[in-house]
Amino acid sequence: MDYEYSGYLNNILPEPDPDARNKVDSFLFTADDLSRWKTEDAEHSTEWKRVPGRKIQTEDGIKIEGNFNKVFAIDSLSEDDPRFWVPLTTLGLTDSRLPIDVNKYPIIEVTYRCTSPNAHPTWMWTYEGGSQLGALPKSQKWHTVVRHLQHFGFPTRIDDLIFRLYSPTRSVESFEIKSVLFRAMTPAEEKASKANMKSLESQKFHTPSPALEEFMPLGVYMDYESSKRLADMLQITHDEYWDFVMEDLVSHDHNAIALSHIDNLSTSEWKGLLDRCSQNGIKLLPRHEYPLSGNTDEQKRVLHESIAPYADSKAIFARSFSGEPTEADFPDILKAKKAIEKADPNHPVCIIARYPNSYAMFAPFFAASGVGHFATRRPWDAGKMVRTHVAMSTAQQFWVAAATFVYPTQTPPWSTSPAMRLQCNLAYANGARGWFAYSYHNDPVWLRGRVQRTLTGPFLTFSDLWSELGQRMRWADALAPLYLKTHIEDAMDDWFVKGISTDTTILPAPGIAPISQFHLRGDDFSLYITVSNNLREMASVNINIPNDAAPGQEMYDLSEYITYQTWQPMARQRHIEMFPGQAHIILVASPDRCEQWRDVLAQRLIQSDLRKLKYNLELANTYNLEYQEIEDRLNNVGDQSKMDDFELIHSAKTDLTNLIYQTPDITEPHSAIIQASSAICGCDGALCRLMEMGKKDIATDLGQQVIPIAAEFTDLRLRLKRGEGAQIHTQSQESSARALALLAAIRSEYNT
């Protein structure tokens, strides 16, 4: 029987010693124990519910079997990325050995074998605020894999263990588990681990990066190669595609792009991209496909062509890797980090993963790092996830990646706007200092894509979440200077805990309180945050703060200030109604410090408005509108804008909007283009549904009819921006009518 290390231990030791293992403290889940485990997974994970599965007692252990034959969505998935599974878990199990004390038993061993050709076994363990998922080697003979569970003292306990059987094909697959062992480290393992940790100490993050001192990323994931394909599909130039993107990001108060597939750009492409970002106030996080081992020529090429030449670019704020970091890659990632930061000493190498997994191992070595939260039906868990993982390093920033996509499996479920609002507010209240939405765009899944229903889809349109995130990022951008100067405080003042209460008694979910309270502390100020955890109902909140609380300091309602731009000390006795997922933020500081932060927020809000107004001013100029007086007013607002400039900005925005809306050559074709855009969004969604129903060929054929209409309305958008509104009004209406008719035709295929 094969016996091998996996993950971290595989990097520091050649192979396990079975004799030494038998001499340390341990306990074993036998086949009889495994027979009592459940074939049910976490409720918010839905893929397993679509696969008939069962456990079978065998002579040697427990076999997990899944019938994937009728899961048609598998046909839309890549074979190297299976998404459906059947589970065997301890969830809800009563067993005196659970939860597992990882300080005492930091090693896990599983003995198993695959009993079908396309079985993809994995194992997973959960802890408070996160989980770790890893693949098991595919082996037709009995195989024992040994893994170290704990890194730098985390986690201290494992709540549940989950085995999953995936399949990349529509077939019946199975694998068999003989036993699961938890044990202490052997003397050799303990010695090797301590020596390795000591050798790594000097490589831990120590020196703050200037690039992250005053910049908090509010970004989206994008794919450069995908942007090329989508531009070709829409029959526009690549530059025109990126002009649309830049205006869209600025209009939605985003300031960053995590960009993949960028290591084959030409010098002119790099220059064009970086110039366009600089002109629009957008910063890049290039996600390099730097080979972690092996191909040294390719490593040198990436360093010399994609990294070193742009070391001085102010349009880049950090660098990262494409793909998911694994424990097996750990030594190579540290080497790659060192090589990249030598080629570019001005931008830190950061790391962000979709899942927590080995975050505890990687986090101490990076200036910024992050984890995805894709459980869209459990937005309350975002805060717990952030709080758990922020504590694992002294990094400058912790980033959250949120799910704004759907796999062909129809998971994760598309988030509601209140759920996204709640997730965002809880993330920042618990210490997050950066945000990325995955993803901004996608190749159509009915052609070649791997995901669907992203923020703007294949056609640069819109979505409810994109609108919601525009509002959230406006708040986050305004508050960024305060967030970057604070840290999460476990202790909360008594006046805050007792002075904020709610009349709401309905729990948003089992075990979830109607409101949550948080304290972010700075050197000479504090933010006190109350978040409504309800996703459907308003929360009635009573504020009754004693007049002698926080002596010598003032309190200001920043939520009200950002929304209404009015500044006055907060009434300490009041009642507010909080809408679903809303955050209420109180600034507490000395009077002088409060005024300083007032001006900082005013400047950021006004500069954000000015960046957005630029595009409407350009449109007014293109149509020869009488906008000069408005522009003159805006020119009186300098870089050091203050609260007094709010009225000027508001009046200019109102007058410019009215001027544009009083111009039929703009508004009438624009309205028709929006209608066509909505219909095209509907077509994409309907085609994805056909794919899910197993009607792949029909979806592909109908998709070919969608593309010309999408290209047409994209061309109409360009012509509208160029001043041709009068000439395209009729065509815009006709395009909209064709899109609506095609949408009806696609939906008619549901019942055929």
Would you say residue 480 lies in a domain? Answer: yes
Check whether residue 585 and residue 602 sit in a common domain.
no
Residue 7 lies in a domain: yes
Write the DSSP symbol of residue 695: -
Q: Do 390 and 459 lie in a common domain?
A: yes
Q: Are residues 230 and 186 in the same domain?
A: no
* pLDDT tens for each residue of 336-358: 999 999 999 999 999 998 888 88
The rounded distance, in Å, linking the Cα atoms of 698 and 691 is 8
What pLDDT does residue 328 have? 87
The alpha-helical segments, DSSP class H, found in 463-557 are: 464-483, 494-499
pLDDT at position 230, please? 98
Q: Are residues 256 and 385 in the same domain?
A: yes
Indicate whether 62 pLDDT > 90: yes
The CATH number given to whatever domain includes residue 553 is 2.60.40.1180
pLDDT of residue 644: 84
Checking if the pLDDT of 202 tops 90, the result is no
In a domain, 61, yes or no: yes
User: Which residue, of 458, 484, 510, is where some domain finishes?
Assistant: 484
**Rounded distance, CA 439 to CA 223, Å?**
9
d(CA 568, CA 563): 13
Please report the sign of the dihedral spanned by the C-alpha atoms of residue 376, residue 377, residue 381, residue 383.
positive
DSSP tally for the chain: helices H, then strands E = 22, 29
Q: What residues form DSSP beta bridges with 628?
A: none
pLDDT at 150: 93
Confidence of residue 80 (pLDDT cuts 50, 70, 90): confident
Farthest-apart Cα atoms in the chain, separation: 87
**How many CB atoms lie under 10 A from the CB of residue 314?**
12
Instruction: Look at phi and psi of residue 747 and say left if phi exceeds 0, alpha if psi is from -120 to 50, else beta.
Output: alpha
Mean pLDDT along residues 377-382: 96
What's the pLDDT at 506? 86
Domain containing residue 283: CATH number = 3.20.20.80
* Beta strands at 143-148 and 283-288: parallel, antiparallel or unpaired: unpaired
How far apart (Å, rounded) are the C-alpha atoms in residues 393 and 340? 21
Mean pLDDT value of segment 173-178: 98
The Cα–Cα gap between 225 and 239 comes to 13
Q: Is pLDDT of 43 > 90?
A: no
pLDDT tens for 112-126 read 999 999 999 999 999
Contact between 134 and 158 under an 8 Å Cβ cutoff? The reply is no
Q: Could you tell me if 318 and 92 are in contact, meaning their C-beta atoms sit under 8 angstroms apart?
A: no
Give the Cβ contact number of residue 750 at 10 Å: 11
468: Cα separation from own chain's centroid: 15
3-state secondary structure of 527: strand
Reply yes or no on whether the pLDDT at 163 is more than 70.
yes
Shared-domain flag, residues 230 and 164: no
Q: CA-CA distance, 221 to 673, in Å (whole number)?
A: 26
Rounded mean pLDDT, 424-432: 98
Residues 135 and 244 in one domain: no
**Residue 178: inside a domain:** yes
416-420 long-range contacts, Cβ below 8 Å, gap at least 24? 416/535, 417/464, 417/465, 417/467, 417/468, 418/535, 418/536, 418/579, 418/580, 418/581, 419/376, 419/377, 419/379, 419/535, 419/581, 420/379, 420/465, 420/468, 420/469, 420/472, 420/581
Angstrom distance (rounded) from CA 265 to CA 259 = 12
- The three-class DSSP label of residue 148 is strand
Integer angstrom CA distances of residue 125 from 89, 119, 354, 573: 10, 20, 16, 46
Claim to verify: residue 452 and residue 520 sit in the same structural domain: no
What's the mean per-residue pLDDT of the chain? 95
Is the Cβ–Cβ distance between 291 and 299 less than 8 Å? Answer: yes
Helix (H, G, I), strand (E, B) or coil at 587: strand
Name the strand (E) or helix (H) holding 246: helix 238-251
Residue 91 in any domain: the answer is yes
Q: Is the pLDDT of residue 265 over 70?
A: yes
699 in the same domain as 558: no
Q: What is the pLDDT of residue 323?
A: 83
Contacts 24+ apart (CB under 8 A), 194-202: 196/11, 196/12, 197/152, 200/334, 200/365
Q: In this prediction, what percent of the chain has a pLDDT beyond 90?
A: 88
pLDDT surpasses 70 at 639: no
Average pLDDT over every residue of 680-705:
94
CB 486 within 8 A of CB 585: no
Rounded mean pLDDT, 554-583: 96
pLDDT band at 201 (very low <50, low <70, confident <90, very high): confident
- pLDDT score recorded for residue 44: 84
Q: Give the single-character DSSP code of 512.
A: B
Start-end of H helices in 320-412: 330-343, 359-362, 381-390
Specify the pLDDT at position 353.
86
What's the DSSP call for residue 306?
I
Question: Which residue type does 189 have?
Answer: E
Cα separation of 58 and 142, whole Å? Answer: 14
Q: What is the pLDDT of residue 302?
A: 97
Query: Residue 354 has what pLDDT?
Result: 83
Cα-Cα end-to-end distance for the chain:
53
What contacts 708, CB < 8 A, 6 or more positions away? none
For the cut 90, the answer to whether the pLDDT of residue 523 exceeds it is: yes
Q: How many residues does the chain have?
A: 752
Shared-domain flag, residues 21 and 145: yes
Q: Worst-scoring range by mean pLDDT, 8-12, 628-632, 637-641?
A: 637-641
**Parent domain of 628:** 596-661
Cα–Cα distance, 12 to 402 (Å, whole number)? 34
- Where among 612, 639, 661 does a domain terminate? 661
Q: Are residues 380 and 243 in the same domain?
A: yes
Q: Which two tokens stand for residue 53?
A: 């599965």
Non-local CB neighbours of 702 within 8 Å, separated by 6+ positions: 687, 690, 742, 745, 746, 749
Alpha helix locations (H) across 291-358? 296-302, 330-343
DSSP 327: G
| Whether residues 566 and 707 fall in one domain | no
- 489 domain residue, yes or no: no
60 and 128 in a single domain? The answer is yes
Nearest one of 672, 688, 661 to 728, comparing CA atoms? 672
Quote the distance between the C-alpha of residue 604 and its chain's center.
24
Does the pLDDT at position 395 exceed 90? no
Domain stop point among 589, 610, 627: 589
Q: Tens digits of per-residue pLDDT, 454-477?
A: 999 999 999 999 999 999 999 999
| Averaged pLDDT, 201-224 | 92
Q: What is the mean pLDDT of residues 600-608?
A: 95
Number of domains in the chain: 5
**C-beta of residue 714 within 8 angstroms of C-beta of residue 671:** no
Helix (H) or strand (E) holding 285: strand 283-288
253 vs 467: CA distance, rounded Å = 10
In the predicted structure, residue 1 carries a pLDDT above the cut 80: no
Q: Is residue 30, in this structure, part of any structural domain at all? A: yes
Q: Which residues of 503-530 are buried (b: 16+ CB within 10 A; e: fewer)?
A: ebeeebeeeeebbbbbbbbbeebbbbbb
Residue 677 lies in a domain: yes
Long-range contacts of 665-670 (CB under 8 A, 24+ apart): 665/623, 665/725, 665/726, 665/729, 666/619, 666/623, 666/720, 666/725, 668/725, 668/729, 668/732, 669/716, 669/720, 669/725, 669/728, 669/729, 669/732, 670/720, 670/725
